[in-house]
């Protein structure tokens, strides 16, 4: 069976990495909660808004090392499990909304952070259901409810929502989405 993965929020700590960069750029401590708010421009005003928007434009507009240095979210046992599956018969597919310009950095991150050589990576994706169907992926995990909902409604794949502090408000059971607390459970559930 093929296992599908989102990267940011499931494997890579995008929000933590963003908080670190914004702490440097705004010259004050930024928590992950604050980074999430600033990312949505909810709390940014004046110079902060300009700095955050400028960084996000930079991040998505050209190749930057930010994508190569993101912290890893999975624990060591989870990484061993991912590595074992990933190096057997191309069983892992990575599907991300990261822009195409980050493709090389993302491949670098997958190899150097997770130890997966020559991964299958599909990036700059706005709709993941078509890819999951087209590749006959049996299970998919994401941290964003929108994508999990799309997978649950439009594919036969098992749709899993990686449990985070920012997706607690979503009722996953109603849609047949399985909430997953760690990646070892993801492989066991399926």
Give the tens place of pLDDT for each residue, 20-48.
988 998 889 999 888 888 777 555 667 77
Average pLDDT over residues 143-167: 93
Instruction: Name the 3-class secondary structure at 5.
Output: strand
Indicate the average pLDDT of the chain.
85
Average pLDDT over residues 142-146: 93
Determine the longest span between alpha carbons in the chain, in angstroms. Answer: 51
pLDDT for the residue 7 = 95
Query: Cβ(96)–Cβ(120) under 8 Å?
Result: no
> Which of 138, 127, 131, 185 is closest to 161 using CA atoms?
185
Tell me 66's DSSP state.
G
Confidence class of residue 132 from pLDDT cuts 50, 70 and 90? very high
Give, for 93, the enclosing helix (H) or strand (E): strand 92-95
* Burial class for 50, CB neighbours closer than 10 Å (0-12, 13-18, 19+): exposed
Beta bridge partners of 133: none
Query: Cβ(8)–Cβ(163) under 8 Å?
Result: no
Q: Which residue has the tokens 């670190």?
A: 20
Query: Cβ(17)–Cβ(66) under 8 Å?
Result: yes
Residues near 47 by beta carbon (within 8 Å), at least 6 away in sequence: none
Evaluate if residue 85 carries a pLDDT over 80.
no
State both tokens at 95: 């599907």
- Residue 31 CA: distances (Å) to CA of 35, 81, 153, 163, 180: 6, 30, 34, 19, 24
Domains of the chain: 3-13+69-189 (3.40.50.1000), 14-66 (no CATH)
Record the pTM.
Answer: 0.86
């Amino acid at each position: 069976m093929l296992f599908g993965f989102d990267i940011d929020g499931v494997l890579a700590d995008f929000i933590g990495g963003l908080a670190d960069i914004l702490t440097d750029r705004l010259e004050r401590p930024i928590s992950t909660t604050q980074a999430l708010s600033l990312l949505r421009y909810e709390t940014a005003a004046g110079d902060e808004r300009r700095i955050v928007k400028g960084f996000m434009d930079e991040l998505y507009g050209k190749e930057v090392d930010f994508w190569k240095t993101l912290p890893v979210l999975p624990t060591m046992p989870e990484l061993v499990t991912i590595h074992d599956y990933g190096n057997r018969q191309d069983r892992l597919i990575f599907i991300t909304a990261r822009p195409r310009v980050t493709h090389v950095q993302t491949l670098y991150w997958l190899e150097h952070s997770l130890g997966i050589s020559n991964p299958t990576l599909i990036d700059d994706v706005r709709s993941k259901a078509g890819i999951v169907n087209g590749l006959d992926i049996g299970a998919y995990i994401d941290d964003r409810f929108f994508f999990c909902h799309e997978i649950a409604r439009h594919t036969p794949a098992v749709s899993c929502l990686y449990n985070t502090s920012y997706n607690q408000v979503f009722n996953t059971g109603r849609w047949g989405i399985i909430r997953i607390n760690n990646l070892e459970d993801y492989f066991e559930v399926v």
